[in-house]
Amino acid sequence: MTAIKGTTLKTDFKSICDRAYHGESFIITRPREQNVVLISEREYQMLLRIKSYIINTQKQSEISAEQTYPDHFFDLFGSCHEDMSILESL
């Protein structure tokens, strides 16, 4: 993840958006640590699917202090940046 200033985003908006579209992520630093993250829509949709998967998994089982996620969950999460198509089946 690359940290950039808001002024850099303003001056290089197109190239930064192109880079984000192709998988790079950015932290846009702002005063008083009010930072934001810029990612592609595809990556954002993937994160929403992961969030939904976690919520649905928790709803379907009784939650205990030792709750564990299915073995394949971390495989999906770990490789999500490289190949997000696997999450389309969720």
- Indicate the class that CATH gives domain 2-38: alpha beta
What is the Cα–Cα distance from 27 to 61, expressed in whole angstroms? 35
Across residues 34-43, what is the average pLDDT? 95
pLDDT over threshold 70, residue 20:
yes
Across residues 58-87, what is the average pLDDT? 59
- If you search the block for the tokens 């709803």, which residue do you land on? 59
Residue 49: closest CA among 84, 24, 12: 84
Domain boundaries, the chain: 2-38, 41-89
Q: Exposed/middle/buried for 7, CB within 10 Å: 0-12, 13-18, 19+?
A: exposed
Total-model pTM: 0.61
Lowest mean pLDDT across 1-5, 16-20, 71-75, 85-89: 85-89
* 26-35 confidence digits (pLDDT tens): 999 999 989 9
